[in-house]
Structure 1
């Protein structure tokens, strides 16, 4: 699936002669501007942790795997774009544009990772507090 996406993106970017378009299309971000909206694929921490607190780490793991796949696609698209750049006369300008597009495409992923990290820290804190409350109730019951 990722290979098909990259092939489609490569064909579109080569036809448009725009180095950053390849990375933007591979990342799934809008080409015109980086996404400043909060992560859309993140679970609702309050609702989900209240209903099933044990499922949250699995959800976070799945989302991290999805982010890793997206990051891999972006990295592969950049490598493809760099190979195209080396065929041009203005190599440095093309490479600079490819790096800029890569950073722009990776920024939303970074924001999603930061949100996942915060969510995981919150979950661990809740788990630790539950364990401590359980220990306190055990020590109160046994004189």
Structure 2
């Protein structure tokens, strides 16, 4: 068996150290528009796929190196840091979109309340004129509800509608989280399958190399025995 020389050992160590882990994620830049948030989320999806592809490639390369476990640990750590940074961007963009939706809803409610108050003030300032001849036609019936009561009823309907929307939003968020979890699990399974394939290929290549080396050694030994005779 051929011994590993110091030069070869140093080269193997340098090969495993060449792929240094990615730096820790910095603070995420704040999102300012919905379009920017959508662009961030789209970019996160692309970068996450690229991180998984890069990890699968690094994993296959690691099985060809001497210090396989050290190389794999570095590749996993680099992948973990990259996915963590992308998750931070994703969380910030989704938070901005939810906050923007809430702000738009609040502005709409404020506008409705202002309009209702204006309508009530106009109606109070210009009450219907009494009839000139009460004997001919019955006097107008008083309003069943006052402007304040109508405004209170409207506010109650708005609260019920908001509660229903919030419940629906919470359910949608849960569905999105379940979908994302399934996607992550699928990606991890694919990566595990790729890793096992690479491991089997590496073992098969090693066995083939060992068999070839043994065959060559046997042939050389047979040749020497033949010459000795």
Per the shorter chain, which TM-score range? 0.5 to 0.7
Post-superposition shift, 1:129? 0.5
1:69 paired residue number: 46
Task: Give distance in 1, aligned partners of 2:16 and 2:68.
Answer: 14
Give the unaligned 5+ runs of structure 2: 1-13, 121-229
Within 5 Å, which residues of 2 pair with 1:108-119? 108-119=85-96
Is the 1:39–1:111 Cα contact (8 Å) retained in structure 2?
yes
Give the unaligned 5+ runs of structure 1: 1-15, 25-30, 46-55
CA RMSD of aligned residues (A): 2.7
Task: Give distance in 2, aligned partners of 1:131 and 1:20.
Answer: 56
Count, aligned residues: 108
1:132 aligns with 2:105: no
Look up the SS of the partner of 1:18 in the other structure.
helix
Superposition TM-score, scaled by structure 1 size: 0.61
Bigger relative contact order (CA 8 A; separation at least 6): 1
1:121 aligns with 2:98: yes
Is the 2:19–2:74 Cα contact (8 Å) retained in structure 1?
no
Deviations 1:1-43 (A, max 9, x none): xxxxxxxxxxxxxxx5237727x5xxxxxx4x313x2124x43
Question: Given the superposition, is the C-alpha separation of residues 124 and 130 from structure 1 closer, same or farther in structure 2, using an over 3 Å criterion?
Answer: same
Within 5 Å, which residues of 2 pair with 1:1-143? 17-18=15-16, 21=19, 31=22, 33-35=23-25, 37-40=26-29, 42-43=30-31, 45=32, 56-143=33-120
